[in-house]
Chains A and B, each alone.
Chain A
Amino acid sequence: MTEKKGHFDEDLDLRISPKLSEDLNTLFKPQFSVPPELDRAIMDQANRRLVQRHWRHRIFRHISFWRVAAAAAVIIFAFSLNLTQKPGPTTTSSFIVEAQAVDIDENGRVDILDAFKLARHVEFSERTEKKWDINGDGLVDRNDVDLVALAAVRLDKNKGVL
């Protein structure tokens, strides 16, 4: 503490002697006189500039504050909506939709027997029909069988079976 006081002496005497004051006045006294009108005009202009700058600063601060407030509110609102939440899994494959229409045994419903019958046709080289090419790849194969089977177990198609 003592050392600190030594470096920053608050009781330092800032008064100058009248002799030094007189010498400084003589040294820096203007060599010409400034007309009071000019002096006043300079002061007026300076005042006007200061006032303008003050208002510009206030307006800018005001606008910035509202912008920041609005941006913060938007960000917080977006976070409160929990936009990162993802929807649950759904089966919206267009192939499944097509398979829904395939009723291989034509009994009015699509179930595992449609897939089973199609699989038998494919495996035992029985006759196949062009309409059984569910995925449209020009072949009636195991992929088409899988699509019919997936159509049979679809949840939304069979809603309320029980």
Chain B
Amino acid sequence: MMKKITAIILMSISVIVPVLAQQSEQDNESVQPKVRFAPLRIYLDSGNKSLAAYQFELKAAAGQIKIVGVEGGQHKAFKEAPYYDPAALANDRIIIAAFNTGRELPTGRTRIATIHLQIIGEAEPDYELKLTVAADADAKEIPAEITFEKGE
């Protein structure tokens, strides 16, 4: 009889505990922070030199973001989606790169990529953007300035 009662108690615990845990998870999920989506436009200014290749890294210095998509640039030389690690999606850090072996290349300030972000919470995120390399049509490194603009 005692064993039967013990078994019933153990079974009840093993049923109730996961149910309660799931319920508390659902409760937590119901108090979700505010989520919004916004694009981050990346610009590169290569001055009077033509831009044939670039690589940069972006990460969130503050705030909570998730990268949800990457789009190509403004000039037809960089219109196609650039190279990036698929593991960067749903992450807060990404390395993006592209090149074009053609002769029609952009000069001056041009939008090279747009990164679509999921911003979690009320806080406005801060971004760290670093240009790894920019090069001209002869694959020679050129000085360039990288900037970003937040979109709505």
B93 interface residue (CB < 8 Å to A): yes
Place the interface of chain A in its size category.
35 or more
The reply to whether A158 and B54 form a contact with Cβ atoms under 8 Å apart is: no
B10 interface residue (CB < 8 Å to A): yes
Contacting residue for B57 out of A69, A117, A123, A162, CB 8 A: A162
Q: Which residues of B contact A76 (CB under 8 A)?
A: 14-15, 18
Given A89-B87, A112-B54: A162 touches B95 (CB 8 Å cut-off): no
B117 interface residue (CB < 8 Å to A): no
User: Which segment, of A4-12, A37-45, A129-137, A145-153, faces chain B?
Assistant: A145-153
In the bound complex, what is the Cα–Cα distance between A115 and B96 (angstroms)? 13
- How many residue pairs link A and B with beta carbons under 8 A? The number is 105
The reply to whether B85 and A154 form a contact with Cβ atoms under 8 Å apart is: yes
Place the interface of chain B in its size category.
35 or more
In the bound complex, what is the Cα–Cα distance between A56 and B133 (angstroms)? 82
Contacting residue for A152 out of B21, B97, B101, B135, CB 8 A: B97
In the bound complex, what is the Cα–Cα distance between A91 and B95 (angstroms)? 14
In the bound complex, what is the Cα–Cα distance between A79 and B22 (angstroms)? 11
Residues of A within 8 A of B (CB): 62, 65-66, 69, 72-73, 76-77, 79-80, 88-91, 105, 111-113, 115-117, 119-120, 123-124, 146, 149-150, 152-156, 158, 161-162
Q: Which 3 A-B pairs have the closest CB atoms?
A: A112-B97, A80-B18, A116-B99
